[in-house]
Amino acid sequence: MVTIGRRRWAIAEGYLPPGGEDDSYELRSHEAACILNAGDVDARVEITLFFTDREPVGPYVVVVPARRTLHLRFNELREPEPVPVNTPYSSVFESDEPVVVQHTRLDSRQAALALLTTIAYGDD
């Protein structure tokens, strides 16, 4: 199987729009980090969140199994604490195996949805 990716990634932009619980799961506003583990070993990923005016929070720990992808919605993170809405943040991912991280947001605060995406910044 393929080995592709890096062990450290950062997404400088982060923002959970408030509300939107009325929509279906797919069309509800959300911000996601898509994490691909194309290799043959499970990846343990530690996520740390950075804020404007307080100390970082984390690590949030997720496991991406071998040969699987995880489309992680930030608003579903629970431990050590939920991600606050309507608050700018950044995220750093540290994995023990090479992974690829991509940032996506769907914003349905208004009638027409808006989308954004970018491959995260990968470092070694």
CA distance 40 to 114: 35
Specify which residues 45 forms β-bridges with. Answer: 62, 95
Q: Smallest distance from the beta carbon of 8 to its own copies, in angstroms?
A: 6
Nearer to its own copies, 79 or 110 (CB): 110
Q: Tell me: does residue 68 bind its own copies (CB under 8 A).
A: yes
39: Cβ–Cβ under 8 A, 6 or more apart, which residues?
A: 1, 2, 3, 4, 5, 66, 67, 97, 98
Q: Give the three-state DSSP class for 57.
A: strand
Contact letters for its own copies, residues 15-34 (x by CB under 8 A): x-x--------xx----x-x
Half-sphere exposure of residue 9: CA atoms within 13 angstroms, side-chain side: 25
Q: Tell me: does residue 10 bind its own copies (CB under 8 A).
A: yes
Q: Which residues lie near its own copies (CB under 8 A)? A: 1-2, 4-5, 8, 10-15, 17, 26-27, 32, 34-36, 38, 48, 50-53, 55-56, 67-71, 86, 88-90, 92, 94, 100-105, 107, 109-123
